[in-house]
Structure 1
Amino acid sequence: MPSRRHTREPEVDPFYDMLFNMLIAFVFCFIIALLAMNPKALKAGDIPSKAEFIITVSWPDMNPNDIDTWVQDPSGRLVWFRNREAGLMHLDRDDRGLTNDTIIVNGHVVVNPLNQEVVTLRGIDSGEYTVNVSYYDSKDMKPVEVSVSVIKVNPKAEVVYYGQVMLARKGDEATACRFTVLPDGSVANVNTLPKTLVERI
């Protein structure tokens, strides 16, 4: 696989990065709780939709390695850490393992153990989506098990896909899932057929 020629820019402030990560988790839990407690309140026009699908990629807490998320839409556009917005897709969180996950609070080092990336689809664009993960950088040269979930948010929370893929070494890429969004927003043809995305860059 060709090497990626891009280098990362340093994070501005790891404290804000950690807070944003916690905010995403809180908002997601709030949406799920709201759907479970009062589904009648979600009639059209009552609550503005912020996302139609939420794609979450996570790997073990405190794992030092950098896993990247790549999502391709039906038009062939890609979201990844150097292209955070494409069409209706948005990379809300780019996690770099333990890099920049420590802050100093009252003289003590605080570590954010959570490793998670989040991509939202903020509308219905019918066609096939592909969700890939790649092993961008390794600190310990060990395999990493990556969990991937795709949640359809509207009109109610629905798990489209949940599963794990194993990335054996730096440079590996794997297709976690592919799914087709129909014009009415429903999902069909969920599968894990391999499709390379990283080599297209």
Structure 2
Amino acid sequence: MRRRHVRREAEVDPFYDMLFNMLIAFVFCFIVALLAMNPKALKAGDIPSKAEYLITVDWPDRNPNDIDTWVQDPAGNLVWFRQREAGLMYLDRDDRGDANASTLVDGRRIVSPFRQEVVTVRGIVPGEFTVNVQYYQSRDGQPVEVTVSVTKVNPRAEIAFHGKLTLARAGDEATAARFTILPDGRIANVNTLPKKLVRML
């Protein structure tokens, strides 16, 4: 089990939060505009792509609780916080809520309000993928609403799934999405039929 240290965070000027939010919004808009306006460059390889599919798991900003993402590919490979690379899947960040939401810059602690984990699939792997979410640890004892999206990135961004579910208490696991990648890269057979992935730790 991961060890956690809870610290009392110093108050942060709201200006920095607003500035950070604006920067994230600008970067996101730039990437979407690039994908929408120049798909030929992606096909020609002029702009190197780092993912074929993105799986994003979000929960409310500033939520103190730890939500974990588990993704299984058609070969049975499983990516999660203790196995951050498996097959062609990569867990880009293990967001632990309040536990890792800050960093020091020039001696000043900057706190990120965002709660998000992202799994990238860096190739076309035909077969069924399963995306589960787990309420790993609670710091306030409250239910957490989780939003899950599956996006096909190339040759242009296409959202294949977007859904919400609520995890009531620590230890809860739920299947957010199951989908099939076809040999041509398209996504089909999207559903939410339950399938357990969480291993006993």
Taking structure 1 as the reference length, the TM-score comes to 0.83
Distance (whole Å) between structure 1 residues aligned to residue 108 and residue 172 of structure 2: 36
Whole-angstrom CA distance in 2 between matches of 1:26 and 1:77 = 35
Aligned to 2:15: none
Partner of 2:101: 101
Deviations 1:36-63 (A, max 9, x none): 2223333333322210001110100010
User: Could you tell me which residue of structure 1 aligns to residue 56 of structure 2?
Assistant: 56
Structure 2 partner of 1:173? 173
Q: Supply the distance in 1 between the matched residues of 2:124 and 2:106 (Cα, whole angstroms).
A: 46
Mapped partners of 2:49, 2:106: distance in 1: 39
Do the aligned partners of 2:42 and 2:49 also contact (CA within 8 Å) in 1?
A: no
2:138 maps to 138
Structure 2 partner of 1:126: 126
- How many residues align? The count is 185
Query: CA separation in 2, counterparts of 1:134 and 1:70?
Result: 8
CA distance in 2, matches of 1:111, 1:86: 30
AA of the residue aligned to 2:36 = A
Contact 2:42 2:48 in 1 (8 A): no
Q: 1:27 to 1:121 in 2, by over 3 A?
A: farther
Q: Per-residue CA shift, 1:93-142, capped at 9, x if unaligned?
A: 11000113234556654321100001000001100000000000000000
Give unmatched runs, 5+ long, in structure 2. 6-21
What's the Cα RMSD here?
A: 2.4
- Opposite residue 90 of structure 1, the aligned amino acid is Y
Kindly, what percent of the aligned residue pairs are identical?
Answer: 71
Deviation of 1:24 (Å): 8.7
Q: Indicate the residue corresponding to 1:31 in structure 2.
A: 31
Alignment of 1:1-201 (within 5 A): 6-8=1-3, 29-105=29-105, 109-199=109-199
- Cα distance in 2, alignment partners of residues 182 and 56 from structure 1: 20
CA drift at 1:27: 6.1
* Structure 1 unaligned residues grouped into runs of 5+: 1-5, 11-21
What is the TM-score normalised by the length of structure 2? Answer: 0.83
Shift of 1:33: 1.5
**Could you tell me how far apart the structure 2 residues matched to 1:113 and 1:156 are?**
29
The whole-number CA distance in structure 1 between the counterparts of 2:169 and 2:4 is 23
CA distance in 2, matches of 1:92, 1:103: 17
